[in-house]
Amino acid sequence: MLKKHPAKKLTIYTNEIDKFGHRPVYEVLIDIFKRRSFACVNVFRAIEGLGAHGELKVAKILDLSTNLPLKVEAIGSEEMINEALADVYHVVENGLVELSDTTILKSQPLKPDEREEGTGHMKLQGKAKMLKIIISEEDKWLGEPLHEVIVKRFITEDIAGATVYRAMAGYGPHRRYHKRKLLTPQGQLPIVIIVVDTQENIDKVLPLLDDIVTEGIVIVSEVEVIKYTHRDAPNPLTP
């Protein structure tokens, strides 16, 4: 499961024309945060804004040099923020610097070549569990297609992977036969979601399915994983 952890968000409001030396201030700030391995750094350009001088500025399609506000957001630990503040104060002569508490719910994983040796995708081989969920195209949860809700929740629970199939034909508990045809209304055919993962991971999502699958069938069976590969795995044929 993805673990929440506290963090700090440092927000700097500056302008497009602000410079430090010969470089835009926002570029210098990005370098400061990059050197300290911040979890996330983003720069946002305003559509319109009102600065300290009370002058309203609006982005125009044909005006590429408009001096609009910029917002630089950096997220990291309290220690990282404190170490960067001195440099930030030195670079930002005009603008606003804001510090706030935040909580990281999910952090983007590193690219394969940035991972430390011995880390990477989960190794899934041998005895495992297969979870199969059979629902209908028309099933929804809070207005969203149920199969999409289930897959998104599986992602937040760190499930190894999920595949969604739309049936060509089938019938359910009402024993009405449906077949895929060109003019068949969407919503009348079964949807099957299949997951293969460890028993521990399967067990932790079963209560979720019990809550949101109000009509359908949920099946858990034992399987043996013979081979598990992913796109980031090294190619044995590549020298």
Give φ, ψ of 77 to 5 degrees: -75, 165
Average pLDDT for 197-201: 90
Judged against a pLDDT cut of 80, whether residue 211 lies above it is answered with yes
pLDDT tens for each residue of 100-125: 888 776 555 544 444 444 334 455 56
For residue 138, pLDDT beyond 60: yes
C-alpha closest to that of 154 among 181, 131, 121: 131
Mean pLDDT of 213-220: 89
Annotate the chain with three-state secondary structure.
CCCCEEEEEEEEEEECCCEECCEEHHHHHHHHHHHCCCCEEEEEECCEEECCCCCEEECECCECCCCCEEEEEEEECHHHHHHHHHHHHHHCCCCEEEEEEEEECCCCCCCHHHCCCCCCCCCCCEEEEEEEEEEECCCEECCEEHHHHHHHHHHHCCCCCEEEEECCEECCCCCCCEECCCCCCCCCCEEEEEEEECHHHHHHHHHHHHHHCCCCEEEEEEEEECCCCCCCCCCCCCC
pLDDT digits (tens, 9 = 90+) for 31-76: 898 888 886 788 887 665 444 444 444 444 444 445 677 888 888 8
β 144-145/140-141 pair status: antiparallel
Q: What pLDDT is stored for residue 101 in this prediction? A: 86
Lowest mean pLDDT among 31-35, 67-71, 77-81, 144-148: 67-71
Rounded to an integer, the average pLDDT of 182-194 is 69
- Residue 115: predicted pLDDT: 41
Given a cut of 80, whether residue 132 has pLDDT beyond it is: yes
Query: Is the model's pLDDT at 137 over the cut of 60?
Result: yes
- pLDDT confidence bin for 151, thresholds 50/70/90: very high
Q: Which region among 105-109, 157-161, 212-216 has the lowest average model confidence (pLDDT)?
A: 105-109
Among 68, 92, 108, CA closest to 10: 92
* Domain architecture of the chain: domains with CATH: 5-104 (3.30.70.120), 126-225 (3.30.70.120)
